[in-house]
Amino acid sequence: MKIAVLGASGLVGRAMLSQLEQCCWVDELPLLLTSNRSAGTKIDFNNQELVCHAVNEDSFDDIDIALFSAGGDVSKKYAPIAVNAGAVVIDNSSAFRMDSTVPLVIPEINPTASKGIIANPNCSTIQIAMALMPLHKEFGLLEAHITTMQSVSGAGLAAQQELENKSVTELDIIPKIGAPLSDGSFTEEDKVVNELRKIMSLPELGVTCLATRVPVWNGHSAAIRAVFANEVDREKAVKALAMFPGVGVAKSEHDFKTATEVTSKGEVAVGRLRLDSTNKNALLMWVVADNLLKGAALNAVQIAGQIVESGS
């Protein structure tokens, strides 16, 4: 099984390599692809030094699965080339996510054995969907009102370097991620809204999102108010979340994990889960996950594992 990682020198690319190191189905050394900037850079893989190569149109000959994490423009250019060369592309960028012919996959929710291009969802969308899906199955989700608090690692290596150079008096919360849209939102908010509807197969779901960037090194947080068709029972909600693979839940209303506490862990952690005193059909919760792992690399490698298992 020959794997290529495009964007191997970036935060997500390096996290993908760490995940691949742990996969028993990886039986050949992966091909590391970057831009010219990092060509020649050496990255450790299972105690062997691998060299990064600048991507080109022939890079995907002989590749079975290509994990892309080098931005939307690079994906748009190279994903069709890789698919034509016979690879399955699992793409971390937003380039193909809302394409109706491309599956947008969280393996615990909507697994696929598809070929061609498979899109990995937005990092915040993944952790929010993981928390909402078991509750939807139990009570029937009608609405979700979300505020995200997204760490700087979500904006890549350069953003982490920028944070390192700031003094504590400059730290702030920025209520804007991405480009402005005509309805007053920013593109990150639009991604959460539309990707949730697609992944959960709920095209009419009422979703609102305010996405903020916070001076946190790694790990995204989301505060969610979810409204359901049926009256909620807290014990049933806790049980549904606890039973869902990849999700952990705090037993008491007052308990929670922080984004930093779940860094380097694969779980989506739900805390502060409590009833909404204004509506017997609503729940409030706090959801955290490592955006580089379940929000990106782990989810992508899980998709790859399902492709391998299905024998595609």
Ligand X SMILES: NC(=O)c1ccc[n+]([C@@H]2O[C@H](COP(=O)([O-])OP(=O)(O)OC[C@H]3O[C@@H](n4cnc5c(N)ncnc54)[C@H](OP(=O)(O)O)[C@@H]3O)[C@@H](O)[C@H]2O)c1
Per the residue annotation, which of 52, 53, 209, 220 is the catalytic one?
Answer: 220
Shortest gap between Cβ of 288 and ligand X (angstroms)?
14
CA–CA dist 207, 118 (Å, integer): 24
51 versus 229: smaller Cβ distance to ligand X: 51
Tell me the CB-side half-sphere exposure of residue 295, using CA atoms within 13 A.
31
Closer residue to ligand X (CB): 119 or 240: 119
Between the alpha carbon of residue 26 and those of residues 49, 152, 293, the distances in Å are 16, 30, 18
Stretch that binds ligand X, among 7-15, 170-178, 202-210, 264-272 (CB under 6 A): 7-15
**Contact between 70 and ligand X per CB under 6 A:** yes
Could you confirm whether 123 is annotated as catalytic?
Answer: yes
Residue 52 falls in the annotated catalytic set: no
For residue 291, state whether it binds ligand X (rule: CB under 6 A).
Answer: yes
Candidates 3, 4, 13, 45: give the one binding ligand X (CB under 6 A). 13
Determine if 30 is a binding residue for ligand X (CB under 6 A).
no
Q: Tokens for 273, please give them.
A: 């889960």
Instruction: By CB under 6 A, tell whether 154 contacts ligand X.
Output: yes
- Of 88-117, binders to ligand X (CB under 6 A) are 92-93
Size of the site for ligand X (CB under 6 A): 28
Rounded Cα–Cα distance for residues 107 and 301 (Å) = 10
d(CA 38, CA 49): 14
For residue 126, how many C-alpha atoms fall within 13 Å in the half-sphere facing its CB?
Answer: 33
Q: Is 158 exposed, middle or buried (0-12, 13-18, 19+ CB in 10 A)?
A: exposed
Residue 153 binds to ligand X (criterion: CB under 6 A): yes
Q: Answer yes or no whether residue 79 interacts with ligand X by CB under 6 A.
A: no
The Cα 215–Cα 225 span in angstroms is 24
> Tokens for 312?
């595609």
Contact indicator for 8, 68 with CB cutoff of 8 Å: no
Contacting ligand X (CB under 6 A), which of 4, 249, 296, 298? Answer: 296
Catalytic residue (one of 52, 53, 123, 209) = 123
> CB of 219: closest distance to ligand X in angstroms?
10
59 interacts with ligand X by CB under 6 A:
no
Show Cβ contacts of residue 86 under 8 Å, excluding neighbours closer than 6 positions.
60, 63, 64
Residue (82 or 232) nearer to ligand X, CB: 82
The helix (run of H) or strand (run of E) holding residue 309 is helix 298-310
34 binds ligand X (CB under 6 A): yes
260 lies in the binding site for ligand X (CB under 6 A): no
In this complex, which beta carbon is closest to ligand X, that of residue 93 or of residue 250?
Answer: 93
Number of residues in the chain: 312
Residue 269's closest CA among 295, 249, 252? 249
Q: Contact with ligand X (CB under 6 A): which of 292, 298, 301, 308?
A: 292
Residues that bind ligand X (CB under 6 A): 7-13, 34-35, 37-38, 55, 69-71, 74, 92-93, 123, 153-154, 156-158, 291-292, 295-296
> Could you give the residue numbers annotated as active site?
123, 220
